[in-house]
Structure formats: structure tokens, C-alpha cells
Amino acid sequence: MNHFSVSFPFIFVFAPCILVFWYVFFREKNGIALPNRLLAKFLKNPKSLFVLWGIRFFVIVLLLGIGADIHISGTRFVPSLPKKEVLVVLDISRSMLAEESGMSRIEESKQVIRNFVFDHPSYSFGLIVFAGKPFLLIASSQDSSGIGEYVSHISVNTIRQSLPGLSGTNIADALSLAAKSFDNESQIKEIILITDGEKNLGEDPIGIASQVARDNIKIHTIALVSRDPSKPLFFTRNDGNKEYLRDENGNHIYGVSNPKLLREISRVGNGQFFESRNLSELTKIFSDISHSSRQKNTFEKKYTHISLSPFLFLCFIGVLWGERLYTRRLFGDVYRGESEK
């Protein structure tokens, strides 16, 4: 709804004062109307003088209107997307080196994360990596190219897992850190947890997920499962030879076949649970997450403020010019020092 408003309305009280001053100046300049026969002629038919002083009063009002800052104020509602932030929590424990389709799980995850970031430039993204402890690598950001470049350099060596307490799969602490890392201004908050293992360190992840959900944060979980859980996991070394992954006790590491924990985390976290066995499935999962949480337009209240001063100034110049022409037409002979014969 639009309406006119005036910042300094009191300035209009000067209008009659200026008009009186102008009238006195007019009399001083042209003298008493009688015995000037030319002015006397107009006093007998004062309509022209009324028009003249009406024009002059209008000039004064326009001038004061410029100083009073007359403007049009209004409000309008425009559609806008709520600010959405997605925080990816990526497991980079050594088991993520496992290969089953020619590419390691960590490389598949990195590729899909990069594509997801580039496909959603309106989102804000954050990134946490974890093994025995979680670390925030990227806080809330919309720098798609910067995020993509950073993700490209992540590896299992990003965390020095040979040090005490830094190896393992600490899902609870990762979720807790994620919940604390969101931007307070974000209106939609979602966590995407990507892991290939079960929790073996820290607190109960389900209890943490329940606390996170109370802050209106959704938790989606993606389990990177094995095609054949009976086979030990392996990766290819730089020399091209195959090496089997082993735990701290030297035993072979096997993939998770029934990730009940991740399913339960997504349930209490009001999110979705997915299983992925290869790159194409992981790509589809991220696409499904994107479509399921598509943002709905909201309406934002916008205030408009349009000053009429430029328009009033142009009117002032035009009317003042017209007043000069009208005055010369009425009293041209007097201005030229001539009188009627």
C-alpha cells in the first residue's frame, strides 16, 4: 500500500509569509497602482492579477515542497527463497580408501559433493571431516569454486590418524560439532552424514541426533555399503599393488551390510536414510535429497521510498518560467518604461 508522506511539514507555514514578502516587493518595484494607468486598467478587471498571484503562490508551494521532502512510501511483498545451509559430514577414516568399482569411496564422495555444491549456488555449505575426532574445514559459505577446490584436496591424511585418539569412527562428536557450526541466520538447516562404518568411539549418536533435531536441523544419512560384505576391503597402492585394510589389531576390515545405526539416526533426525554401493547410486542419492528438500517461496516485506523532490524541482522551474512570461505579457509596457497613450 502506497501513501504520501512529508519529512518536514512545518516548512509550509512559510508559504503565506513569502507570498506577502513578494507582494510588498512587487508594490515597491511598481509603485502604488494609481495613477499608473496601465496597472489601473488591470485593477478594473483584476482577474489577470488573481491568476498571476495564484501562479506565484503555486511557485512558492513547489519550492517549499522540495525543502519539505515529499515522498511516496509504501510496502510490497516479493517472493524470496529462505536461506538454506547444508553441512556435509564426511567420514575420512582409512576404510574410506576401499575400492569396489575402480574408485575409492572417499573419491566418489568428493566428486558428488563438488557437483552438489556447484548445482546449488543459492545454498550455503559447510564441511566437517571426521575419524576419531571431527574437524570443521569449511564454515558457512556460498563460494562454490572455493569449496570445490578445497574438497578436491581432502584425503584420509587430512587427519593424522596415526596419532592417538584420531583414528576410528566418532559419529556422535561429528554430529554435535555440525549442530554448533550452522549460521544463526540460516532458516533451513540440514546435515548430510556420509560414512561407511558403524560408530566405535564417543557417545551414543542416536541421543545426539535427537538433540540436534530439536533445533530444527534435519539429518540425512548415507551408508556406503559393500557389494559383498563377506569380502575384506582393499585399496590400490601407488605402485599398483592391492593392499587389504586392517584394523588396529591387524584384522581385515569388512564393509557394513546392515547399517541399522544410520537408519535410526536419520529417523530421529527427521531426515532420510540411503545406501550407496557405487558412484551412480551416490549421485542419485544427492539428487533425491535435493528434490525432497526443495525450498518453497516465502514472501518478504519490502519498503519503498521514492522522493518527489526531483519532480517538484522540474515543476518549479517550469512554473517559474511560466510566471515570468505571464508577468511580462501583463506588464510588458511598464517593464519597458512605456505607458499607454
Asked whether residue 325 is domain-assigned, the answer is yes
Assess whether pLDDT exceeds 90 at residue 47. Answer: no
Q: Is the pTM of this model over 0.85?
A: no
Q: What does the pLDDT read at residue 88?
A: 96
Asked whether residue 68 is domain-assigned, the answer is yes
Assess whether pLDDT exceeds 70 at residue 322. Answer: yes
Specify the 3-state DSSP secondary structure of 37.
Answer: helix
Pair (136, 227) in one structural domain: yes
Pair (212, 325) in one structural domain: no
CA 233 to CA 228: how far, in whole Å? Answer: 10
Pair (282, 307) in one structural domain: no
- Name the domain count of the chain: 2
Assess whether pLDDT exceeds 80 at residue 287. Answer: yes
Pair (179, 276) in one structural domain: yes
In the numeric block, the cell 508551494 is attached to 61
Question: Per-residue DSSP letters for 31-94?
Answer: --TTT-HHHHHHHHSTHHHHHHHHHHHHHHHHHHHHHHTEEEEEEEEEEEPPPEEEEEEEE-SG
Assess whether pLDDT exceeds 80 at residue 75. Answer: no
Assess whether pLDDT exceeds 60 at residue 43. Answer: no
Q: Which three cell numbers stand for residue 80?
A: 524470496
Pair (195, 230) in one structural domain: yes
Vertex 85, ends 154 and 153: CA angle to 5°?
A: 10
Q: Under a CB-based contact definition with an 8 Å cutoff, are residues 125 and 147 in contact?
A: yes
The pLDDT-based confidence of 34 (bands split at 50, 70, 90) is very low
Assess whether pLDDT exceeds 70 at residue 214. Answer: yes
Mean pLDDT of the chain: 81
Pair (7, 130) in one structural domain: no
Neighbour tally for 180: CB within 10 Å: 9
Q: Under a CB-based contact definition with an 8 Å cutoff, are residues 257 and 231 in contact?
A: no
Pair (125, 51) in one structural domain: no
Asked whether residue 341 is domain-assigned, the answer is no
Asked whether residue 26 is domain-assigned, the answer is yes
Pair (66, 161) in one structural domain: no
Pair (63, 108) in one structural domain: no
Assess whether pLDDT exceeds 80 at residue 191. Answer: yes
Of the ranges 20-29, 40-49, 75-84, 88-97, which one carries the lowest mean pLDDT score? 40-49
Q: What does the pLDDT read at residue 44?
A: 45
Assess whether pLDDT exceeds 60 at residue 334. Answer: no
Q: Under a CB-based contact definition with an 8 Å cutoff, are residues 133 and 164 in contact?
A: no
Assess whether pLDDT exceeds 50 at residue 301. Answer: yes
Asked whether residue 70 is domain-assigned, the answer is yes
The pLDDT-based confidence of 159 (bands split at 50, 70, 90) is very high
Q: Which domain holds residue 30?
A: 2-76+302-335
Assess whether pLDDT exceeds 60 at residue 232. Answer: yes
Asked whether residue 134 is domain-assigned, the answer is yes
Q: Which three cell numbers stand for residue 34?
A: 494609481
Pair (155, 257) in one structural domain: yes
Q: Which of 227, 220, 301 is nearest to 262 (CA)?
A: 220
Q: What does the pLDDT read at residue 35?
A: 45
Asked whether residue 340 is domain-assigned, the answer is no
The pLDDT-based confidence of 340 (bands split at 50, 70, 90) is very low
Assess whether pLDDT exceeds 90 at residue 303. Answer: no
Pair (227, 266) in one structural domain: yes
The pLDDT-based confidence of 194 (bands split at 50, 70, 90) is very high
Q: What is the CATH number of the domain that holds 201?
A: 3.40.50.410
Q: What percent of the chain has pLDDT over 70?
A: 80
Q: Under a CB-based contact definition with an 8 Å cutoff, are residues 155 and 131 in contact?
A: no
Q: Give the model confidence (pLDDT) of 80-133 as tens digits.
A: 667 889 999 999 988 899 887 778 999 999 999 999 999 998 899 999 999 999
Pair (208, 70) in one structural domain: no
